[in-house]
Structure 1
Amino acid sequence: MSLTARQARESENVFHDWKDGPFSHLRRLAIPQQSSGAGFKFAANGHLFEELLSVKVYCDALTGVSGDDLDRDPIVADLVTSGRITFSRKKASHVVNPGQICIRDTKASWDFVCEPGTRVRVVSIPRHLVFSGRGSLGVFNQSYLSDVAAPEVRFLVNFLEAIEKSSDDLDRSCPARSIAMDACAALFSGMLTNQPHGVVHDHPNATVKAAKNVIEGNLDRHDLSPAMIAQLVGVSVRTLHRSFSESNDSIMAFTRRRRLQKAHAELMRHGKAAKVSEIAARWHFADASHFIRHFKSFYGATPAAYLRSQGETDGKE
């Protein structure tokens, strides 16, 4: 979904079709007036296996309510990789930053605010599957908030990746889908039952991973900077620098390496026909000499010498 500024301002009926789709638990959706001038974009890519939804979402600024106080409302997990989502109800409030996950029972409706440019992995599963086999629903927490560094969250993420890789088998096999849904329901059930106490803090590794996601998606932008990355990740510039330093790296060093690797791939693709000055400009190096110097430092030879050596190697094979 991509809306112009005018369409975003007239957004009341834009989300009408969502009431019968996989995001049917969302209601009273609205694009904040202060953000509508830039238009609105929403994209979701993933799978729906019967009633188990696993998608990666990009969403601009959006507000609304998740859940309608009904038994049919699902259990929903939001794993944020950039941006920020705030969920609140009565006395409870969760700010989900990059590298954090929030699992919610949407039978208890939650107001939410999604910041512009938020990327999030959304997983939802029918509530009755998560609660089946339990003698009392009173033992369940209405929400769970944690860092992705927590062992149970890492296990869940690995499980979801396995589901994605097995999507063809799941599409073909009803028993496989049932097993996947039962396993996911058991994971959600365990996490909502055994919610840890205490405040959730940003984990440096999670912040670095979220920042790298942002960098990968914006390598072609000339204005990519620590300030922009920090804003999209949802942390301060100081926290961003500190998180990278704790991983023995720096933000711009990582960005330069990835741009060099992109430039290297383009160089190899075009071979002798490659124009170094154009490649340097495309990947935002100050000029050709600046690019050549960094390329030689990273790959041990200038682009021209590197191409010659690769040609000689190919000739010997």
Structure 2
Amino acid sequence: MIDTAYFPLELDFRNPEQLHGNLSQWKLAQLGISRLESSATNFKRVDRQIDESEPYFLITMPTQEQVQFSQSNHSVVCNPGAFILERSDLPYEFSYRKDNALWVIRVPLSQLRTRIREPERYLYMEFNKQKGMGAVFFQFMQSIVQQASDTDEASHSVLSNQLIDLLAHSLENDDRVLMSRESGLRRVHLLNIENFVRGNIQRSELSPEMIACACQISCRYLHKLFKDSGQTVGQWIKELRLQSALNDIQSDRGHTTLAEIAYRWGFNDQAHFCRLFKARFGRTPREMRQVKSPF
């Protein structure tokens, strides 16, 4: 069950003779939510277990005891009342020394990237879930779980998107992230760019020139800002559009035509949209509408 809730892991129980545990899971469109209660355990993810076409992040929230997490020469301690992010596509080690209960959300990395640029910036940090947006995020997750059996698939898709949005807001509101890896001026420019693009993503004419003009910077500087992100401006916009279209296709269940969804997210040519969609997700929009979410 651990493999289905998270992904393949090696488990080492500190006191095997006193082992106990319980795992509850909820499927919510593209998200997986779980609550694990267990005795002291060490989880380890090694290279041979990493074989995924779609990387995931785990958002882990201990409720009783602190946990220790290490990955890529980084270590962080997460206390009850906080949460941390872990990535699935690199080895890591995670442990707690006493009985513990953990809430864990499994979210595709691509879903985070449609809300926040470079979600990897938020790794290896402890975030507060007892006040501000962190508390809103945590409480909303709990309310979703409580009502999961009384809500349908279409509602699950809406709620999962709202939960990811709240997670993104709680991360971006952290002052440590605002000042990390980027100068204050560069950060301001990137936030302006993100806000403009998200507000105009449905316009087919959206272009680097339009973005640069609206944000009062040069096109050359715009491309320079994205140089270290691993994506060009155009690639980022395309990913935002495709992920938004995917969300609509999975949640709409046939009430809106595929052509309407394509136009809604800035694709003027439906054939071109279908080619891009299949190249990104491995299925055509029509095929994707006919399958259930894998989570």
TM-score (norm 1): 0.48
- Corresponding position of 1:120: 102
Letter of the 2:42 partner, please give it: T
* Structure 1 position 22 matched with structure 2 position 5: yes
1:246-278 Cα shifts (integer Å, max 9, x gaps): xxxxxxxxxxxxxxxxxxxxxxxxxxxxxxxxx
- Corresponding position of 2:147: 166
- Corresponding position of 1:102: 84
Paired with 2:168 and 2:53, the residues of 1 have a C-alpha distance of 16
Contact 1:108 1:142 in 2 (8 A): no
1:204-259 Cα shifts (integer Å, max 9, x gaps): xxxxxxxxxxxxxxxxxxxxxxxxxxxxxxxxxxxxxxxxxxxxxxxxxxxxxxxx
Cα distance change, pair 121–139 in 1 and its aligned pair in 2 (3 A): closer
Answer with 1 or 2: which has the greater Rg.
Answer: 1
Name the % identity. Answer: 13
1:164-217 Cα shifts (integer Å, max 9, x gaps): 2321343xx22211111211222333444454429xxxxxxxxxxxxxxxxxxx
Range 161-170 or range 86-95, more displaced: 161-170
* Structure 1 position 92 matched with structure 2 position 71: no
Query: Given the alignment, which residue of 122, 127, 138 partners 1:146?
Result: 127
- Corresponding position of 1:54: 33
Cα deviation for residue 163 of structure 1 reads: 0.6
Contact 1:144 1:192 in 2 (8 A): no
Letter of the 1:88 partner, please give it: S
Contact 2:84 2:126 in 1 (8 A): yes
Cα distance change, pair 94–138 in 1 and its aligned pair in 2 (3 A): closer
Relative contact order: is structure 1 or structure 2 higher (C-alpha 8 Å, sep ≥ 6)? 2
Letter of the 2:77 partner, please give it: V
TM-score (norm 2): 0.51
Contact 1:94 1:145 in 2 (8 A): yes
Query: Given the alignment, which residue of 138, 143, 154 partners 1:157?
Result: 138
Equivalenced residues, count: 174
Cα distance change, pair 137–120 in 1 and its aligned pair in 2 (3 A): same
Letter of the 2:88 partner, please give it: T
Cα deviation for residue 159 of structure 1 reads: 0.9
Query: Could you list the runs of 5+ residues in structure 2 that have no partner in the other structure?
Result: 178-295
Structure 1 residue matching 2:176: 3-state secondary structure? coil
Paired with 1:169 and 1:158, the residues of 2 have a C-alpha distance of 18
RMSD: 2.8
Paired with 1:70 and 1:191, the residues of 2 have a C-alpha distance of 27
Paired with 2:18 and 2:130, the residues of 1 have a C-alpha distance of 35
